[in-house]
Chain A
Amino acid sequence: MAEPIQLKVNGKGVAADVPPETLLATYLREHLRLTGTHIGCDTASCGACTVHIDGRAVKSCNVLVGQVQGREVTTIEGITPADGSLHPMQAAFKSCHGLQCGFCTAGMVMSAIDLVMHAAHATDAEIREGIDGNFCRCTGYQNIVKSIAQGAKAMGK
């Protein structure tokens, strides 16, 4: 087997001793047991597997481990404070009832953070467009939109 692939996951260096064609989503879930990242489809449509690579939202089912050599991957576990509190975006989802079954939630939160950090999000329409890569079947998106607006404020964005 080739040399392990070096990357950072949630701030810690890891050597991924897996075939480079392994999907990042599979590597995170099956090898690192970071099961907060979910897989909801096989066509990169649903966004449940969204993580950050070097701070930008990416669907991890559409990235091979070989592509993240030397890069920094952050998952929902990585943005969660260790002290039992919540990231401001997570807190906003809680207070606005922006989640129901929870399956799309990690991906939605990761997309939301990327959106408010890097894209226009002043209006409902901009937020809706910004999360257009993430499916939610439970909420009808309304409270997710509200959560992101509130989360953005809490993040000072």
Chain B
Amino acid sequence: MSAARESLIGRRIERREDYRFLTGVGQYTDDITLERQSYATFVRSPHAHAKIRAIDTKQAEHAPGVLAVFTGKDVAALGGLPCGWLITSIDGTPMKEPKHPIIVEDTVRHVGDQVALVVAESLAQAKAAAALVEVDYDVLPAVVDTATASKNKTAVHAIAPDNVCYTWGIGDKGAVDAAFAKAAHITKLTFVNNRVVPNAIEPRAANAMYSRADDSYTLYVTSQNPHVERLLMTAFVLGLPEHKLRVVAPDVGGGFGSKIYLYAEETALVWASKRVGRPIKWTAERSESFLTDAHGRDHVTTAELALDKNGTFLALRVDTTANMGAYLSTFASCIPTILYATLLAGQYATPAIYCRVQAVFTNTAPVDAVRGAGRPEATYVVERIVELAARELKMHPAELRRRNFIRKFPHASPVGLTYDTGDYQATLKRVEEIADVNGYAARKKASAAKGLLRGIGYSCYIEACGIAPSNIAGALGARAGLYEAGEVRVHPTGKVTVFTGSHSHGQGHETTFSQIVADKLGIGLEDVDIQHGDTGKVLFGMGTYGSRSLAVGGTAIIKAADKVIAKGKKIAAHLLEAGEADIEFANGEFRVAGTDRKKAFGEVAFAAYVPHNYPLDKLEPGLNENAFYDPTNFTFPAGSYICEVEVDPATGAVRLDRFAACDDFGNVVNPMIVEGQVHGGLAHGIGQALLEHCIYNEDGQLITGSFSDYALPRADDLCSFVVETVRGTPCTHNPLGVKGCGEAGAIGSPPAVINAIVDALSEYGIRDMPMPATPFRVWQTIQAAKR
């Protein structure tokens, strides 16, 4: 026992959550069926923009099995779904915040907007009755196009007649203008960051129940942050006492951002459950997911990079129009501002940056965070413009990047962030090795022999994770701090239950968090259980997004474990009749320093709960500690990616041939899980670059509304990735030294892919390729270049 045991940090430990998922005994929201269960369906608008003249629900109300039909009139007195970030325009005015009703009363604003809720004994009966709800619409022109929304004569909301939600800016415009005036070279490009649909494979679902016994509600819901869901729903929409609603997010089948937000459906269900007097379940069909899950990206950007004659970056000027969709979703306003423009320095020491962002309303589904959230858009801007500049200056793209890397830390960027640490040379050097850049020329030749064009593309990304230092977030418009809470509850036998405000929906927290706690307390992995996703169990939590769980949630747990150890030392000192200052804790033992007198962790736990001999005059019994953690800074994961593609010039087909990623996530607790996160992120980003495109037609009809029309990457669309994580620069301001890894792949990969395609097509003089680079688009671009 006294020999130092092997650390549990950095080990590829198989996941403890896997057994239930592999054997079909996981419990996802739709798997839960309650006593006297009833079922809901929503009547949704088929129009992008229309006045509701009248709704007739009479037939539906009398249809077989129907328990209730609700319309916008029934919920008109309730609040709208709130937005969590207040962005202030350059002119000092607050962003426009139209009401986002849980059931629309007078005007529908996107296809899929909910106009009635039908509750019935069975789902089939609810659907049959929904078809009988007659809605008389007066169809209005739709605003769809992001770039021209502010010039459209139609207003999505009367309070924003020009469809502008806000016009926001960051950086020193004067300094940027001055730098451009003296630049030796300016590279300019206008491009679109394509709109994507998150598409977690588990559709959103909710099951709400009211109990007359104690006038309380329980909601099972597909959420990444049940406490946030509860707070927003009770305090801002329904006006219910917060402690009378328990929100449970059980096993959740992927989030990717889409399950952060408070949605209309679950809110309406909670409200209706009391009126119906039965539990009500709703599960989105995939077509509803396409119509109503918050979408991502959808930016139109013009970027200009000023360089001196040596290729040193002087300034970056960026002008972006970002689509908010029809309403402001929970985080919508902060994505193209706080999580986007602040990242425009990338890995470079660009001295001056100015970015203006105009956010517009359109008659499309709300747009919010999707894996990466703002940072993929920023990385795309930076890494495309840098690549293009290198091409124009006839420099190797890696060389231009190296020349401009930040080398000294901490580094205060001109757009508001202070990077604590990083080593960008190291990840770029290493990725060139694992990508076998030296063998590229031979591979290009081999492709050419087959009539194929091979290209290579680089991308060096940075992200800000571990959201958020609450004071900084507050200064940037966040309406709430972004702490995290953790509780370490030691049971009398020394077994431990950890309660965390983070939520796992694929990330493997039950394994990773067990590793850090078992390591810290010197107990077995099997002695630790992780509980999450239930406001009835967990004190508080801000949830999981922005790659924050280990950096923020994990740190809260470590702080709670520190308190357990501190109290354990007091108890041990008493039991060992020694001074508290003489007690050391290591390897699961409290020991009087320099002696062999010791108490095991379990003995101290036992003494804490059922003592015969306890310093009751000085110390309360029990061994259960809570901690809150508010990070002092963001974390800054960074890395370098290299992609190789083969393009068939005859068909425009792009084949992803090789992809290498080298990331610096600081310390790594479970390398197996981290690699899996990178793989998934890469697939997501490569999907955006090559396949995924959410398209509305000019009437606002979603024409990519199913998996038949929207191309999610399949196994044979991808190649095997070469992924390596260097532990070069641990985060300097959290005790684990961790940075976050969940979004990196989705952030860094799109420009690597597009840069590779542009490189492959360089012989045609092609300088840009829109995402997604579908065969048709690539072929069209080649044909246009040939003319």
* A23 to B680 Cα, complex, angstroms: 31
* A80 to B17 Cα, complex, angstroms: 16
| Interface presence of B473 (CB below 8 A) | no
Return A18 CB to nearest CB of chain B, in Å.
Answer: 11
- One digit per residue, 1 when the CB lies within 8 angstroms of any chain B CB and 0 when it does not, for chain A 129-150 equals 1011011111111111100000
- One digit per residue, 1 when the CB lies within 8 angstroms of any chain B CB and 0 when it does not, for chain A 24-49 equals 00000110011111111111011010
17 pairs, A vs B, C-beta closer than 8 Å = A35-B28, A35-B31, A36-B24, A45-B706, A48-B201, A77-B24, A80-B24, A97-B675, A99-B21, A101-B252, A101-B254, A102-B17, A131-B715, A137-B684, A139-B683, A142-B718, A142-B720
> Which of B200, B675, B706 touches A42 (beta carbons < 8 Å)?
B706
* A105 to B17 Cα, complex, angstroms: 12
Of B163-171, B381-389, B503-511, B764-772, the one with at least 4 CB within 8 A of chain A: B503-511
B201 touches A135 (CB 8 A): yes
> Which of B17, B20, B200, B708 touches A137 (beta carbons < 8 Å)?
B200
Contacts of A127 in B (CB 8 A): 715
Chain A residue at smallest Cβ distance from B287: A42
Contact residues of B between 701 and 739, Cβ < 8 Å to A = 706-708, 712-716, 718, 720-721
A43 touches B253 (CB 8 A): no
The verdict on A102 contacting B251 (CB below 8 Å), with A132-B716, A144-B715 known, is yes
| Interface presence of B320 (CB below 8 A) | no
Binding site for B on A (CB under 8 A): 29-30, 33-43, 45-46, 48, 75-77, 80, 86, 90, 93-95, 97, 99-106, 109, 124-125, 127-129, 131-132, 134-145
| Interface presence of B286 (CB below 8 A) | yes
Q: How many A-B residue pairs have CB under 8 A?
A: 177
B287 touches A99 (CB 8 A): no
Main secondary structure of the interface of A (DSSP, over half): loop
Contact residues of B between 76 and 121, Cβ < 8 Å to A = none
B23 touches A135 (CB 8 A): no
Return B186 CB to nearest CB of chain A, in Å.
Answer: 38
Contacts of A103 in B (CB 8 A): 28, 200-202, 253-254
| Interface presence of B784 (CB below 8 A) | no
* A114 to B725 Cα, complex, angstroms: 35
* A99 to B706 Cα, complex, angstroms: 24
B708 touches A45 (CB 8 A): yes
The verdict on A46 contacting B22 (CB below 8 Å), with A101-B252, A132-B714 known, is no
B19 touches A137 (CB 8 A): no
B25 touches A101 (CB 8 A): no
Most buried by A among B24, B506, B707, B720: B24
* A137 to B676 Cα, complex, angstroms: 12
Q: How many B residues have CB within 8 A of the partner chain?
A: 56
A41 touches B707 (CB 8 A): yes
Given contacts A105-B22, A140-B718, 11 further A-B contacts (CB under 8 A): A94-B18, A101-B252, A105-B21, A131-B715, A132-B715, A135-B714, A138-B680, A139-B679, A140-B680, A140-B745, A141-B718
Chain A residue at smallest Cβ distance from B203: A40
| Interface presence of B673 (CB below 8 A) | yes
| Interface presence of B14 (CB below 8 A) | yes
* A33 to B20 Cα, complex, angstroms: 16
B200 touches A37 (CB 8 A): no
Contact residues of B between 1 and 29, Cβ < 8 Å to A = 14-15, 17-28
| Interface presence of B199 (CB below 8 A) | yes
Contacts of A102 in B (CB 8 A): 17-18, 20-22, 26, 251, 253, 506
Chain B residue at smallest Cβ distance from A102: B21
| Interface presence of B682 (CB below 8 A) | yes
- One digit per residue, 1 when the CB lies within 8 angstroms of any chain A CB and 0 when it does not, for chain B 247-275 equals 00001111010000000000000000000
> Which of A48, A80, A95, A101 touches B23 (beta carbons < 8 Å)?
A80
| Interface presence of B285 (CB below 8 A) | yes
A137 touches B706 (CB 8 A): no
List 3 A-B pairs, minimum CB-CB distance, nearest first.
Answer: A36-B24, A102-B21, A103-B253
* A38 to B31 Cα, complex, angstroms: 9
B286 touches A41 (CB 8 A): yes
A136 touches B286 (CB 8 A): no
Contacts of B448 in A (CB 8 A): none
Return A86 CB to nearest CB of chain B, in Å.
Answer: 6
Chain A residue at smallest Cβ distance from B12: A97
| Interface presence of B672 (CB below 8 A) | yes
A94 touches B15 (CB 8 A): yes
Contacts of B200 in A (CB 8 A): 101, 103, 137
* A12 to B770 Cα, complex, angstroms: 54
Contacts of B22 in A (CB 8 A): 76, 80, 86, 90, 93-94, 99, 102, 105-106, 109
B23 touches A90 (CB 8 A): yes
* A76 to B26 Cα, complex, angstroms: 12
* A94 to B721 Cα, complex, angstroms: 20
> Which of B202, B707, B714 touches A43 (beta carbons < 8 Å)?
B707
Return A103 CB to nearest CB of chain B, in Å.
Answer: 3
Chain A residue at smallest Cβ distance from B17: A102
* A135 to B201 Cα, complex, angstroms: 8
* A157 to B24 Cα, complex, angstroms: 24
A95 touches B14 (CB 8 A): yes
Contacts of A109 in B (CB 8 A): 22
A46 touches B676 (CB 8 A): no
Contacts of B19 in A (CB 8 A): 86, 94
B720 touches A101 (CB 8 A): no
Most buried by A among B22, B672, B681, B684: B22
A137 touches B716 (CB 8 A): no
Return A100 CB to nearest CB of chain B, in Å.
Answer: 4
* A142 to B661 Cα, complex, angstroms: 14
Contacts of A132 in B (CB 8 A): 714-716
* A35 to B20 Cα, complex, angstroms: 12
Contacts of A76 in B (CB 8 A): 22-24
* A90 to B23 Cα, complex, angstroms: 8
The verdict on A138 contacting B707 (CB below 8 Å), with A93-B18, A97-B15 known, is no
Chain B residue at smallest Cβ distance from A93: B22
B715 touches A145 (CB 8 A): yes
Chain B residue at smallest Cβ distance from A136: B201
A106 touches B24 (CB 8 A): yes
